Structure 1
Amino acid sequence: MTDTTTMPLADLIAQRLRDALAPTHLVVTNDSHHHAGHMGDDGTGETHFSVEIVADGFIGQSRVGRQRMVNRALADLLATRIHALAIRARAPGDGD
């Protein structure tokens, strides 16, 4: 079992998304340094993230549906540790 209490939050986000959505492409970026001193910055340096994800489960889903799938996988983290999450969710073969 992985000790998630000491794991960088970006790694925990990636692990959760891999487990829930089995992405073929996944990039999690910690954007917190861009928001230092702003609302939602708790001083941890781990509050603002961007996710770029491609997964088969997104096929036939709307943009909102895809974002909801990501949000469900991260629900407890969004409620407690993540202040802001930018999501770019695509199905395989989707254009940019």
Structure 2
Amino acid sequence: MKTIVTFIRPWNRYNRGETAGFDPATAAGLIGVHAVPYRPAEAAPVVPAAPAAPEPAPSFESAMAALETPAETAPKSAATGTADLPVQGRRK
């Protein structure tokens, strides 16, 4: 009877993540150092549920309309011509 192990680090010709069966004495020497006991539930990949259909992308025209703001809704600055300049760039 063989004992099945899953490798957690490289050993001999086996790499991490591989599963192999050995006689109980060899498997006992590997477990804890190079391998862990095989667990079928961990080895089976979990298949995620199908993702929901993505929303369609907005058209170019609707995206541009959302970006353009009318002049009436734009904030008004106290001094004309200085609203776009940083504080360091303003004249005293």
- Considering fraction of residues, name the structure with more strand: 1
Normalising by structure 1, report the TM-score.
0.19
Higher relative contact order (CA 8 A, sep 6+): 1
**Larger Rg: 1 or 2?**
2
Normalising by structure 2, report the TM-score.
0.20
